[in-house]
Chain A
C-alpha cells in the first residue's frame, strides 16, 4: 500500500487507512534506530529542507535525524538566519529553496495555514511541522503510535487532554487522530484557553481536572507557553499549576495503568510535577523516540515508498 498524497498538512483531512499505513511503516522503521549502523538507503540522493520560522529543537532534530537515517541530504534553515528578516516574502523564500531542488520542505511557522499556502504554490512535498494554532500532524501521529504500542489499541480509550487547547496545535492533531479510532476525548482547560465551539468536535469539556481523570487511560498534558503569562488568559503560573497541574494525587484518580504524555518541552512543576513526569506512568521519552520513526515513515511514504 502506498500514500497517495503530495503533502502532509493536517490529520483532520486524513483517513484512518492512511494513518494506519503511516503507523505500520513507523513501527518497522523503529528497528533501524536500534541498529549499530542506523541508516537505510531509502532516500539516497533526496534533499530535505527544514524551514523553521519558529524556534524548535525537538521537532527539527527529529526531522533531521529521520532524513539522515534514510540517507537523504538534510539542511536546516531557520528564520533568524534566513532572508525573511531582510524583507523577502515567505513565498519567495520557499521558491528559492525549491529552486535548489528540495524534494521535501518541512515547515514550521507561527501562522496557521503557511504549510497549506506553500503546498499550493510549490512542487516539493510539504510537511507541516506545526502551523500556528492549527495542527502538528507528525506529533499527533507519534502520539497515536505511542498509545497504540502501550495500550495495544486506540479504540475506545478514554483520553484526557489538559491545558492550552486554544493555542494547542498538538491538541488539535491529537483530537483529529484519536477521533478516527473512536476514542473518548475529554478536554480540560480554563475557559479562557478553549477555542470557540470546540464541543462540536465531539469532545467533552471540563474546567476541573479532578472530575475528568476518573478511569482515564491516557493523560496528555500540553505545554503551557510561558509567554502567555501576563496576557490575561490566566492570572499566574502558580494558580494554573494548582488548577491544572498533574501530580501524584491526581494521577491516582486515573486508571492504574494510565499513560502520562507530554509533547515537550516540559515546564516542570507547571503542567506536571517531576515525580510524575519521571515516574512509571510516563511515556514522554518514548514519544520522542517514536517521533523519529514516524517522521521516517512520512518521508519514506511521501517519496513513493511502499509498505510491505
Chain B
C-alpha cells in the first residue's frame, strides 16, 4: 500500500462522474490526498508517483453505501469496523454509512465518537455513522438528534426496526428539520409481519413458514409518505422491496413530495424462490418478494422512482444462520456483491453505466446533502476503478467480510472493483481477496 501523500496518477481509464456529467477517457492526478487534475493526458509528475494503468477500466467517484450494518460496538463476532471497511473496499466502496442497531445503540454522542475513533484507527474506508431516531431504538422518545449530528451522524434511522408509533415518527421528521438530516425509515408494520419469516405467497405456503405480507411494507410506506407531505422533512425510505411500495413512491414524487428511496441488489436479483428448501441465507427483512415485485423494482430503478442502490449489508455468524428458519436472524451481507449485481442491469437495459454509477455515488451523496460522490478538482480523492469484464464466482472462502451469509455464494459475477482510493490513499489494488 502506498503512503497517503504519495502522488498517484491514474492513466487511460474511462472516467465517469455522473454528478459533473463527465464520461471520457483520460487521466487523473492525485496529490496530497486531493484530485489535482483531470485531463485527456497527464505526464508523470516529478518525484515519486504511483502510476495505475486504468486502460480498459472505468474510473468513478468512490462508491457510497447508505446502508451498512458494521456491528461494532457489541457484535464484533459478526463484523467490526476493520472487517466491514475491508469488505467495503473489496466491493469498491469508499464510504459506508453505518446503521445504529449496535449494542449499545448509537443513540448518543459517545457511541458515535467510538465508531469514528475506530474508523480513524482501523478503518480502511470512510464510515459515516447514522444515529438512532429514538432512545434505544425503542420507538418511544426521540434520541438527542442534535448531539448525534454534532458528533458526526449524517442521518437518523431506527433501522432494523420500524418506528411503529406514527406520532413519534411525525415528531422525529419535524425535529430532524432543524439539522437538515434525512430520516431513514425501515418500513414495516410489525403487527402485519406477525412473526413472519419469509414473504407471504406460494413459497411460504409450500414450506409451511409464516409469511410476511407485502402490505407489511406498503402500509408503512404510505404512512411515511403522508408524514413526509405533512412535515416536509427529508425522508428516505430504506430497502424498498415490493411493487406496491414502488407505485406509492412514484405517485408521491409525481405530487412533489420530498422523498427518496433505495432498494438493494437482492430485491432485483432474486425472488422468494431463492429460499428453496429452507435456505437461511435467503432470509432478510424485508423478505425477498415475488416476481411481480422484482419487475416493479426494476421499473422503479429505470424511471428514477428508486433513487439509489444500497447494500443493507447485515453480517451474521454461521452458527446463527445454521439453525431453523424460524430462529435464524434476518439479514445477508452485500458489500462485495452489490456492484456486479447492479452491473447486471446494463445487460437487461434497465440502466446505463453512468446511471448505475450514479445510484452508488451522486444519489447517496444527494440524500446525505454532502458534496461527495463526485470527482472535484481540489476535492478529496475518493475513487473507485472498475473492471467491467472481470468474471468471477462468489466463493465463501474469498469473502472479506467476517461473515459469509450470502445467498449469492456460487453465483457467477461479471465486473468488480480493482482499485479503491480513499482520501488519496490507495487502499486496494487488484483485489483484497488474495487471488
Taking beta carbons and an 8 Å cutoff, which residues of A are in contact with B?
12, 89-91, 109-114, 116-117, 131-135, 169, 172, 195-198, 200-201
A133 contacts B206, CB within 8 Å? no
Q: Which of B124-132, B181-189, B197-205 contacts A (4 or more CB under 8 A)?
A: B197-205
Q: Is the interface of B mostly helix, strand, loop or mixed?
A: loop
| CB within 8 Å of A: which B8-23 residues | none
Tell me, in angstroms, the Cα distance from A197 to B202 when the chains sit together: 6
Chain B interface residue bracket vs A: 20 to 34
Interface centre among B202, B213, B323, B324 (most CB of A within 10 A): B324
A113 contacts B202, CB within 8 Å? no
B331 close to A (CB within 8 Å): no
Chain B residues with CB under 8 Å of A12's CB are 206
Tell me, in angstroms, the Cα distance from A198 to B322 when the chains sit together: 29
A134 contacts B208, CB within 8 Å? yes
Tell me, in angstroms, the Cα distance from A58 to B326 when the chains sit together: 25
B319 close to A (CB within 8 Å): yes
A113 contacts B277, CB within 8 Å? yes
Tell me, in angstroms, the Cα distance from A109 to B209 when the chains sit together: 13
Q: Which of B204, B208, B323 contacts A90 (CB 8 A)?
A: B323
Q: Which of A91, A116, A131, A201 contacts B323 (CB 8 A)?
A: A91
Chain B residues with CB under 8 Å of A133's CB are 208-210
Chain B residues with CB under 8 Å of A197's CB are 201-202, 205
Tell me, in angstroms, the Cα distance from A90 to B327 when the chains sit together: 10
A199 to chain B, nearest CB (A): 10
Report the nearest B residue to A200, measured CB to CB. B202
Q: A110-B326, A112-B324, A117-B324 are in contact. List 9 more A-B contacts (CB 8 A).
A: A12-B206, A90-B323, A111-B324, A112-B208, A113-B325, A117-B322, A117-B323, A133-B208, A196-B201
| A112-B326 contact given A89-B319, A117-B278, A196-B200, CB 8 Å threshold | yes
Chain A residues with CB under 8 Å of B211's CB are 195-196
Chain B residues with CB under 8 Å of A134's CB are 207-209
A90 contacts B324, CB within 8 Å? yes
Tell me, in angstroms, the Cα distance from A112 to B197 when the chains sit together: 11
| CB within 8 Å of A: which B245-285 residues | 277-278
Report the nearest A residue to B325, measured CB to CB. A113
Chain B residues with CB under 8 Å of A195's CB are 204-205, 211
A218 to chain B, nearest CB (A): 22
A135 contacts B205, CB within 8 Å? no
Interface centre among B201, B204, B211, B278 (most CB of A within 10 A): B278
Q: Which of B208, B319, B324 contacts A169 (CB 8 A)?
A: B208
Interface centre among A12, A111, A113, A133 (most CB of B within 10 A): A113
Report the nearest B residue to A134, measured CB to CB. B208
| CB within 8 Å of A: which B162-213 residues | 200-202, 204-211, 213
Contact with A along B196-238 (1 / 0, CB 8 A): 0000111011111111010000000000000000000000000
